[in-house]
Amino acid sequence: MLNLSPGEVSLSQLEQIWREQLPIKLDAAAHDRIAASAVRVEKAAKGPDAIYGVNTGFGKLASIRIAPEDTETLQRNLVLSHCSGVGSSTPRAIARLMMVLKLISLGRGASGIRPETVTLLEDMLEHGVTPVVPAQGSVGASGDLAPLAHMAAAMIGEGEAEWQGEVLPGGVALEKAGLAPVILGPKEGLALINGTQFSTAHALAGLFNAWHAAQTSLVSASLSIDAAMASTAPLIDEIHALRGHPGQISAAAVMRALLDGSEIREAHRDDDPRVQDPYCMRCQPQVVGAAMDMIIQAGETLRREANAATDNPIVLTSEDRIVSGGNFHAEPVAFAADMIALAMAEIGSISQRRIALLVDPTLSFDLPPFLAADAGLNSGMMIAEVTSAALMSENKHLANPCSTDSTPTSANQEDHVSMAAHGARRLGPMAQNLFQILGIELFCAIEGTRFREPLKTSAALSGVCDRFYRDIGPLTEDRFLAPDLERSAQMVAGHDLLGATGIAFPGIEENFRD
């Protein structure tokens, strides 16, 4: 159980919540702010003035006044009518992260929701009641309406929710967990469905995967350098200091540490016949370092968004006003998702070129064709390289920007939208493709270093090889490769390989500069 202070939640906390699916509680100060804003909304609901979403219709129907006695029906109808999502269900870990992000946003005290409604969300996380949220239906403004409506539906005992591995009607899931549905008060349905939490949850998962992939690619690239007997001179620190980009400097430093003490490198340091290596070997710090800088920038945006009040209208308790605004527009999330997608595509692109180099006997400096023992009789990694090319190309297609798209909705009332939701959702498949590419590179590079025996790679990289061979045996002859490729991708997605190096890898927030 984590205790969170809205406005101050860190990316490391959010990553822990996502990876471990932890429950959370908001701190006492947040509950005080929530209660104060609820009082303001209750007062407005009984007053003479028209307040959007409190005593009016929604969207294009905002000019229609709603009678006080219909307030509960108004909010319930809003939630049910907006449950219009389609497609596959959102992964449980991301749905729970979305719930946490909604709690953080509500905890800013600008939404007018009652403390008991917030407590139900906390209790659902603690007792494992996860709303079933269809993945498609949001355009990223007026918030993630459809996905968040499916979350809210479970809270009122409608829709569906997963509990202990079983998908049940929302009310049944709550009952089995010992919880009761909430009857929505003034503005509460609107507060629950307005916001960017669905898009932001997907974008954060993409962010964490992208950073992990970038760090792992420094390991796979270092092994490829040794396997190909490439030069480490391009890693000299002064080269990177002269350019000044922090990601590039950091990437080169990690690679120097990973390759330190390699017998393979020392064996050809003074008699290397090549003047320069291909870019995929020589420019890893420049390419992946730039991707790291972009991921860091996206991380700063998403950390702010995770802590933001993205409801509408906003309750300004300091001014005793309820004001319509546009914080639900997910343009910052859309831009961040596009940046992460570009970074993923480029990390995979340069990795794939190293795979191609290692299997090509004209480029790989005396390695056997396709890294095959008894080449000809065996094909080795020939088609694994083709698979990596297919995945690389797919990620290039997926990396096309989504934020440049827009379409008017809601009878032209909501006439510019961010497309953040599908911009962020595509990061999941892209991450899986990238883990597969890096897994294939690791397989090729580790096999390449085996062909350099009795010379050994560095102690740090030997630890990676040992960990790899615990799950996947050396490729001494052709075999059914698909299970090995899947296991290698799973190892990349996990943290064992980085841990096996004994090298400290920086987290995203360690690089924040604000």
362-391 confidence digits (pLDDT tens): 888 889 999 999 999 999 999 999 999 999
The share of the chain scoring above pLDDT 90, in percent, equals 84
Radius of gyration of the chain (CA): 26
**Across the chain, what does the average pLDDT equal?**
94
Residue 460 above 90 pLDDT? yes
> For residue 273, what pLDDT is reported?
61
> For residue 65, what pLDDT is reported?
83
Maximum Cα interatomic distance, the chain, rounded to a whole number of Å? 87
Q: Is 52 one of the catalytic residues? A: yes
How far is it, in rounded angstroms, from Cα 496 to Cα 166?
31
The tens digit of pLDDT for each residue in 41-65 reads 988 888 888 888 788 877 777 778 8
Residue 428 above 70 pLDDT? yes
How far is it, in rounded angstroms, from Cα 465 to Cα 262?
13
| CA nearest neighbour of 104 among 8, 216, 12 | 8
The tens digit of pLDDT for each residue in 282-333 reads 999 999 999 999 999 999 999 999 999 999 999 998 888 999 899 999 999 9
How far is it, in rounded angstroms, from Cα 341 to Cα 443?
24
Which domains, ranges and CATH numbers included, belong to the chain?
A: 2-195 (1.10.275.10), 203-511 (1.20.200.10)
- Under DSSP, the state recorded for 24 is E
How far is it, in rounded angstroms, from Cα 503 to Cα 364?
27
Instruction: Give the DSSP H/E element, type plus range, for residue 4.
Output: strand 2-4
pTM score, whole prediction: 0.96
Residue 77 above 60 pLDDT? yes
Q: Which amino acid is at 40?
A: R
**Which entry of 23, 30, 52, 291 is annotated as an active-site residue?**
52
